Structure 1
Amino acid sequence: MDFTYSEEQQMLADSLRRFIDTEYTFEARRKSARAGKSLDRGVWNKLAEMGVLGLTVPADFGGFGEGPASQLVVQRELGRGLVLEPVTPSGVMAAAILAAHGSAAQKEQWLPAIASGERIVTLAYLEPTTRYRPESARASAERSGDGYVLNGIKSVVWHGAAADAYLLTARVAGSNEIALFLVPRDSKGLGVTAYPTVDGLRAADLSLQDVTVPANALVGQPADGLAALGVGLEHGVAALCAEGAGAMEKLIEITAEYLGTRQQFGKPLASFQALQHRMADMLVQKELALSMAYVAVQALDEADPAARRRMLSAAKVTLARAGRFVGQQAVQLHGGMGMTDELSVGDYFKRLTMLDQLLGDSDYHLQRFGEVMEA
């Protein structure tokens, strides 16, 4: 796979960076985060107009039909700007699931709406007792007439309060099958409790009490739930790796600028060799994370499921380790100021920390990597 930006990809990256630098400023982002908003409709519509939300949606359904490499370009720029809006859960993960496993009616109804920004769809697969393993879901789906009745709890639903619908996992009663359902937000019996996360985004817990959905709410067949969910999770991991690389890149630039202007003993901090070495170490870690982000994107085109899991887990673990190192070094190199809320350094560090927890932490992916290698 060639990761040299094409002319179209470079234009997209340039326009995104220009939009973030001029309109999606850090001050505006922080104001929204502190106001408890992780979705600005003006920003969301602008991202849709730029083609970000429909980038990988098939052209037949209002998207651009681009491949994973173009998604890396977008996510890298979004990471640089710490963009709050739910691009990854809706425009990447949900779109990938529906494109691969959705029925013709589901694709027709939801994919154009996702691409245009009219509708937001997110995943609801975590539960208080499942950790990152969706196969242990306890939410139930019981057949009733021509539909299903859903009961249970879903936790830490990414951008759950902003979503118009959820791709929700539930165990089919009387079987060991985990099915995936497309559940509208306004379904009777569905409760949503929203709360902020440490990085300024929002999540929600869902409670399902006798939520009735028609049979056509199923994504694929009842036995296809885990496979369909896996498509979304794999695309999400690749997106997070690219986002993290972009965030590290910007954080290094911020730190280099600070060291170049802050004076000590009559000269800039950047002139001290020990600090230069630490900046070099940060750059090495960022380049390593970016290289593994390329690996993660390449994995999405890998036909062998075992190789795909191995590549994605390796990239996710590398992202977490590099993000922790770069974030800690940036805070320390800013001295006492790095510990305050006044600077943007802390916001980048918090986001990099949360990227480790999303879609499987380091422990989970290390175990999964080991299982693949042992097999």
Structure 2
Amino acid sequence: MDFTYSEEQRMLADSLRRFVDTEYTFTQRRNSTRGGGSFDRKIWSALAEMGVLGLTVPPEFGGFGHGAASQLVVQRELGRGLVAEPVIPSAVMATAVLAAYGSTAQQQAWLPALAAGERVLVLAYLEPVTRYRPEAARASAERRDDGYVLNGIKSLAWHGAAADALLVSARIAGSNDLALFLVPRGAPGLTVAAYPTMDGLHAADLKLSNVLVGADAVIGQPADGLAALEHGIDHGIAALCAEAAGAMDKLIAITGEYLRNRHQFGKPLASFQALQHRMADMLVQSELALSMAYVAAQALTEPDLAARRRMLSGAKVVVARAGRFIGQQAVQLHGGMGMTDELEVGDYFKRLAMVDVLLGDSDYHLARYCVAMAA
């Protein structure tokens, strides 16, 4: 896979960077994430107009049909600006599931609307006792006439309250099949409890009490649920790694500017060798994280399941560790100011800290890596 920017990718990256610098400033982001809403519809529409939401949607459904390399370009720029809109859960993960496993009717109904920013669709697969394991879902789906009745609890649905519908995993009663169901946000029996997370994003817990859906709500075949779910999660991991790499780039730039402007003993802090060494260590970790983001993106085209899991889990662990290191160093290099809420360095630190727990923490991915190595 060629990760050298094409002319089209460079233009897209430049457009996104200008948009973030002018339309998604520190103050605007704070107002958006702390205003009680889960995301800014105006920003969402602007991202749709720039092609971000339809980047990987097939052209026949109103998208651009780009692959993982272009997705990395986009997510890296969004990460630099800490864009809080549900791009990864909806435009990356849910779109990947529908494009690969959805029926023609489901694709026609949802993919053009997702590309245009008219609808938001997210995955709901985590449960309080499953510890990131999608195959361990306990929510049930009982066949009823020409449909299914869903019961169960889902937790930490990323931007779940903002979704127009959710892709809910449930085990079909009387079988071992794990199916994925498209459940409208306003379905009778579905209760959504939303809350903010520490990094300014939003999540939701779901309770399904006798939620009735038609047979056409099943994504693909009932036995395809786990494969479809893992397909979406894999794309989410690759996008999250790229987003984190962009956030690290920006945080290093913020810290370098602070050290150049802050003076001590008549000299800028950037002139002290000990601090230069710490900045160099941050840069090394940032480059390592970007390299692993490339590995994660390339994994999406890897046909061997064990190799794909090794690449994605390895990348996720390395990027999470690099993000935590850079975030901690940035806060320390800002001194006492780094602990205050007035500086955006804290926002980047929180987002990078959350990279570890999103889509599987390091313990989960290390175990997954070991299993894949033995396969």
Residue 37 of structure 1, CA deviation: 2.4
> 24-33 or 144-153: which moved more?
24-33
Aligned to 2:197: 197
* Counterpart residue type for residue 92 of structure 1: V
Aligned to 1:144: 144
Aligned to 1:50: 50
- State whether residues 38 and 200 of structure 1, in contact with CA within 8 Å, keep that contact through their aligned partners in structure 2: no
| Separation (CA, whole Å) in 2 of partners of 1:331 and 1:89 | 29
SS of the aligned residue for 1:205 comes to strand
Residue 38 of structure 1, CA deviation: 3.1
* Counterpart residue type for residue 309 of structure 2: R
Aligned to 1:335: 335
Aligned to 2:271: 271
- 1:1-375 alignment runs, 5 A limit: 1-375=1-375
* Counterpart residue type for residue 348 of structure 1: Y
| Separation (CA, whole Å) in 2 of partners of 1:87 and 1:316 | 18
Spell out, residue by residue over 1:309-348, the C-alpha distance to the aligned partner (whole angstroms, 9 max, x if none).
Answer: 0000000001110001000000000000001111001100
| Separation (CA, whole Å) in 1 of partners of 2:224 and 2:335 | 52
SS of the aligned residue for 2:37 comes to coil
SS of the aligned residue for 2:356 comes to helix
Alignment TM-score, normalising by the size of structure 2: 0.99
Gaps of 5+ in 2: none
- State whether residues 324 and 353 of structure 1, in contact with CA within 8 Å, keep that contact through their aligned partners in structure 2: yes
Spell out, residue by residue over 1:232-291, the C-alpha distance to the aligned partner (whole angstroms, 9 max, x if none).
Answer: 000000000000000000000000000000000000000000000000000000000000
| Separation (CA, whole Å) in 2 of partners of 1:374 and 1:338 | 43
Residue 33 of structure 1, CA deviation: 1.3
* Counterpart residue type for residue 190 of structure 2: L
- State the 4+ residue runs in structure 1 displaced beyond 6 angstroms: none
- State whether residues 39 and 85 of structure 1, in contact with CA within 8 Å, keep that contact through their aligned partners in structure 2: yes
Spell out, residue by residue over 1:14-61, the C-alpha distance to the aligned partner (whole angstroms, 9 max, x if none).
Answer: 000000000111110011111122311110000000000000000000
Residue 64 of structure 1, CA deviation: 0.2
How many pairs are equivalent? 375
CA RMSD in angstroms comes to: 0.5
Gaps of 5+ in 1: none
| Separation (CA, whole Å) in 2 of partners of 1:300 and 1:99 | 14
* Counterpart residue type for residue 277 of structure 1: H
* Counterpart residue type for residue 245 of structure 1: A
| Separation (CA, whole Å) in 2 of partners of 1:354 and 1:38 | 17
- State whether residues 38 and 161 of structure 2, in contact with CA within 8 Å, keep that contact through their aligned partners in structure 1: no
* Counterpart residue type for residue 259 of structure 1: L
- State whether residues 36 and 202 of structure 1, in contact with CA within 8 Å, keep that contact through their aligned partners in structure 2: no
| Separation (CA, whole Å) in 2 of partners of 1:135 and 1:56 | 26
* Counterpart residue type for residue 211 of structure 1: V
- State whether residues 156 and 205 of structure 2, in contact with CA within 8 Å, keep that contact through their aligned partners in structure 1: yes
Paired-residue identity, %: 76
- State whether residues 135 and 226 of structure 1, in contact with CA within 8 Å, keep that contact through their aligned partners in structure 2: yes
SS of the aligned residue for 1:357 comes to coil
| Separation (CA, whole Å) in 2 of partners of 1:328 and 1:121 | 34
